């Protein structure tokens, strides 16, 4: 299957700082990438859809000024959590879709802890 990487795998930051998470599709080009958040024992929550070369589409209730998404190339999308607070602590997972009907392949996730 297709490979998607994420970096970093975990990060601890202080409240008020910003954190950038990178998502890369390693062996295919992804015009569309997705960012999810998952709290413990809860299901995946789609935050936004990232399209290469255009603005991301955010789901209802997700603050676009707080969660900045950039999809600068066909293999890289970044999520920046700005002015992080403890309630932003979560497991952030990106995925990339291979083809128009293909399944989404997930990165290994980034565990963010804001102290």
Partner 1 sequence: QKEVEQNSGPLSVPEGAIASLNCTYSDRGSQSFFWYRQYSGKSPELIMSIYSNGDKEDGRFTAQLNKASQYVSLLIRDSQPSDSATYLCAVYTATGGGNKLTFGTGTQLKVEL
> Does 35 engage in binding with partner 1 (CB under 8 A)?
no
Q: Which pair of tokens denotes residue 96?
A: 């990339």
Q: Which pair of tokens denotes residue 46?
A: 């789609």
CA dihedral 89, 59, 77, 114 (to 10 degrees): -10
4 versus 19: smaller Cβ distance to partner 1: 4
> Does 43 engage in binding with partner 1 (CB under 8 A)?
yes
Distance of CA 113 to the CA centre of its chain: 15
Phi, psi of 74 (to 5 degrees): -75, -5
62 versus 82: smaller Cβ distance to partner 1: 62
> Does 44 engage in binding with partner 1 (CB under 8 A)?
yes
16 versus 99: smaller Cβ distance to partner 1: 99
Site for partner 1 in 54-113 (CB under 8 A): 57, 91, 93, 97, 101-109
Closest CA to 50 of 89, 17, 82, 77: 77
> Does 28 engage in binding with partner 1 (CB under 8 A)?
no
Residues near partner 1 (CB under 8 A) are 1, 34, 43-44, 46, 49, 57, 91, 93, 97, 101-109
């Amino acid at each position: 299957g297709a490979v998607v990487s994420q970096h970093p795998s975990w990060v601890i930051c202080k409240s008020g700082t910003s954190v950038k998470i990178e998502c890369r599709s390693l062996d295919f080009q992804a015009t569309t990438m997705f960012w999810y958040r998952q709290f413990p024992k809860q299901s995946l929550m789609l935050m936004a859809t990232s399209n290469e070369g255009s603005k991301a589409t955010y789901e209802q209730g997700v603050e676009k000024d707080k969660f900045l998404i950039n999809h600068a190339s066909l293999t890289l999308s970044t999520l920046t959590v700005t002015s992080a607070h403890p309630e932003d602590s979560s497991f952030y997972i990106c995925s990339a879709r291979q083809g128009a009907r293909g399944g989404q392949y997930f990165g290994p996730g980034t565990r963010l802890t804001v102290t």
